[in-house]
Structure 1
Amino acid sequence: MKKKKGLKLVIGILSILLIIDIVASFYFYNLAIERNTKDFLQGNDDLEVSAEAMEVFTEGDWRTWVDKQEFERWEMTSFDNLQLNGYFLPAKEPTNKTVILAHGYLGNGLDMGLYGKYYYEKLGYNILMPDARGHGQSEGDYIGFGWHDRLDYVKWVNLVMEKLGEDSKVVLHGVSMGAATVLMSSGEDLPDNVEAIIADSAYTSVEDLFAYQMNRMYHLPKFPFLTSTSVVTEMKAGYSFEEASALKQVQKTDIPILYYHGSADTFVPTEMVHELYENTASPAEIMTIENAGHGEGFVVEKEAYVKKLNDFLDRYVK
């Protein structure tokens, strides 16, 4: 009788824990993956930026520049029939060089005007700034964290070639989630027209990022919560956290990659960029920017950032 009671107690406890895990999994999916209003990052100390960077991000002259441009609206249908939106601006002088810029989590294509302005005004590139699936004017009811987006970027590259010519030379430049996106695309069958990739503040994989953040923000272990949230994500969004790996993709690429990362980045820990760099199969370079937080490098050390960028592009974009 005592054994039966003990067994019932154990089963009861396990059932309660299972229910808690299931509820938590759907909660975290809704929190991070589903397209909706998100406020959980407000007040996150890891995303605090310097006053200098905040002024540039929110009130910099690049925003006025973006407002004044007459962007062409490009549309593209994704592999899963989503209508995706992009903003294209041809260079002042005809060129076969185009940069495709990839924005971060909860942003939109026009946010990359901070970088687009430099490519346009100083380097003379055409610029294309897509809205990622689940962001901006693009369709999608979930956020892909770069994984499904990697296939979207293959199609954006092909669209550039279709519209601008087979002799197009393409650079992919992403920040944060956008950096992970372009790295994930690097392992796909991209045309040789993609001559360089710039990855600023990238994470190694969605699993690694969420495990780190789940522990840092909620003090929860990877198992079982992250594992079950990944299962829910695969059911509802069609990808798992484990497969969504920039690290695995750069091990297959032959495209030269330039990595940037802030030494003070605690949102995507700096050690991730070193792991990516050390495992990149193609020619790769890395620049860590002292005292820069997440995605701050271009603002905090712009002169050094653009010098490194220019040298890299001169070497690989002929």
Structure 2
Amino acid sequence: MRTIKIKWKMILLLVPVVFLVIQIAGSFFFYELAIKRGEKEYLQKNADLEVSAESMALYTKGQWKDWVASQKFEPMNIVSRDGMQLSGYYLGASMPTNKLVILTHGYLGNAKQMGLFGQYYHEELGFNIFMADARGHGKSEGDYYGFGWPDRLDLIDWTETLVTKLGADTEVVYHGLSMGAATVLMASGEEELPRQVKAIVADSPYKSVYQLFAYQMDRMFHLPAFPLLDSTSLLTKIRAGYLFKEASALREVGKTNVPILYVHGNADTFVPVAMAKELYQHTNSEAELYLVDGANHGESFAMQKAEYKNKVQHFLGNYLNLVAEK
């Protein structure tokens, strides 16, 4: 009888130990999978990221790529608040203007991929354009991905640097895609956001890092968020300096005074359209929601280019004088 009791005590002691080991191992696995800088093979054949052949042709062989290659971008660098060298590219408008768009790319992307939108702003709207490599991407330093949260402060610092360069009367538009959309939304509610930021376009945003990962864990691995996602968040705090729940675009748009145009594909299965709808509903400032039928994640511009451009121009026209820039 005593032997049985001892065995049960050992089992009861081992259960939490085994659970803890699994949590720690799982946290490191998911950190390596999503947060640590490097190639992410699991995304290469992800059905949730599949787009039409026409969209893929635009992304990989579109004329905008030749346009980007032919431009004489001015390389720019700043040091982040935590000491990272960050890289970006500036292109002045063909005619003098005080309009500037700062374009922010998505997860695993790089600055010049936003030339897909940059060509439109530069050639058709007459803007100065700036595109930065987010920390952990492109030529910028960083051994982790910030999913918009530390990046929001980098964005504010880039904005201040560019306003100093171009003048205090500069009118700034933020235009972000996916992670870049979350970045501009996370910056939108910050008290130190420069007054020159007049409007935001957020294409395919998620409402928080925690909710994005919770959705992906369920969809890709059929796992509940708690407790594994919470332990991964703690590891991310130790290694990258942020918690998943604090990285909330939803909370920030509830404080913002900057007008926001939300764009999302109704067929997006990577970041569900419900997130954009909730962001729109909770936005403190003037906001519009533009949904594109049949578009998957980040595919809206490719599927409805003319309508997309018209929506953006009409929205920006409410807050900036675009007539003289056309």
Superposed displacement of residue 20, structure 1: 1.1
Question: Which residue does the alignment assign to 1:42?
Answer: 44
1:61 equivalenced with 2:37 (yes/no) = no
Please give the alpha-carbon distance, in whole angstroms, between the structure 1 residues aligned to 2:283 and 2:301.
23
Please give the alpha-carbon distance, in whole angstroms, between the structure 2 residues aligned to 1:104 and 1:94.
30
Counterpart amino acid of residue 122 in structure 1: E
Q: Structure 2: state its 5+ residue gaps.
A: 322-326
- 1:234-313 paired onto structure 2 within 5 Å: 234-313=237-316
2:81 to 79, 86, 96: 79
2:35 to 23, 33, 36: 33
Q: Normalised by the size of structure 1, how large is the TM-score?
A: 0.99
Q: Per the alignment, in what secondary structure is the counterpart of residue 98 of structure 1? A: strand
Superposed displacement of residue 14, structure 1: 2.3
Q: Per the alignment, in what secondary structure is the counterpart of residue 62 of structure 1? A: helix
Please give the alpha-carbon distance, in whole angstroms, between the structure 2 residues aligned to 1:13 and 1:98.
58
Please give the alpha-carbon distance, in whole angstroms, between the structure 2 residues aligned to 1:270 and 1:192.
30
Superposed displacement of residue 273, structure 1: 0.3
Superposed displacement of residue 152, structure 1: 0.4
Q: Per the alignment, in what secondary structure is the counterpart of residue 57 of structure 2? A: helix
Identity %: 56
Please give the alpha-carbon distance, in whole angstroms, between the structure 1 residues aligned to 2:157 and 2:241.
19
Q: Per the alignment, in what secondary structure is the counterpart of residue 316 of structure 1? A: coil
Superposed displacement of residue 25, structure 1: 0.2
Superposed displacement of residue 58, structure 1: 0.4
Superposed displacement of residue 108, structure 1: 0.3
Please give the alpha-carbon distance, in whole angstroms, between the structure 1 residues aligned to 2:63 and 2:154.
30
Question: Which residue does the alignment assign to 1:220?
Answer: 223
Please give the alpha-carbon distance, in whole angstroms, between the structure 2 residues aligned to 1:69 and 1:43.
33
Superposed displacement of residue 190, structure 1: 1.1
Counterpart amino acid of residue 236 in structure 1: R
1:106 equivalenced with 2:108 (yes/no) = yes
Cα offsets for 1:255-282 (capped at 9, x unmatched): 0000000000000001000100000000
Please give the alpha-carbon distance, in whole angstroms, between the structure 2 residues aligned to 1:317 and 1:15.
60
Please give the alpha-carbon distance, in whole angstroms, between the structure 2 residues aligned to 1:99 and 1:133.
19
Please give the alpha-carbon distance, in whole angstroms, between the structure 1 residues aligned to 2:163 and 2:31.
36
1:175 equivalenced with 2:204 (yes/no) = no
Q: Structure 1: state its 5+ residue gaps.
A: none
1:52 to 34, 43, 54: 54
- Number of residue pairs aligned between Structure 1 and Structure 2: 318
Please give the alpha-carbon distance, in whole angstroms, between the structure 1 residues aligned to 2:318 and 2:7.
73
Please give the alpha-carbon distance, in whole angstroms, between the structure 1 residues aligned to 2:210 and 2:6.
40
Please give the alpha-carbon distance, in whole angstroms, between the structure 1 residues aligned to 2:317 and 2:151.
28
1:166 to 165, 168, 193: 168
Please give the alpha-carbon distance, in whole angstroms, between the structure 2 residues aligned to 1:212 and 1:10.
33
Question: Which residue does the alignment assign to 1:207?
Answer: 210
Please give the alpha-carbon distance, in whole angstroms, between the structure 1 residues aligned to 2:241 and 2:5.
43
1:187 to 185, 189, 192: 189
Q: Which runs of 4+ in 1 moved over 6 A?
A: none
1:10 equivalenced with 2:19 (yes/no) = no
RMSD: 0.8
Counterpart amino acid of residue 275 in structure 1: E
Question: Which residue does the alignment assign to 2:119?
Answer: 117
Q: Per the alignment, in what secondary structure is the counterpart of residue 103 of structure 2? A: strand
Superposed displacement of residue 195, structure 1: 0.3
Please give the alpha-carbon distance, in whole angstroms, between the structure 2 residues aligned to 1:283 and 1:296.
25
Counterpart amino acid of residue 78 in structure 1: S
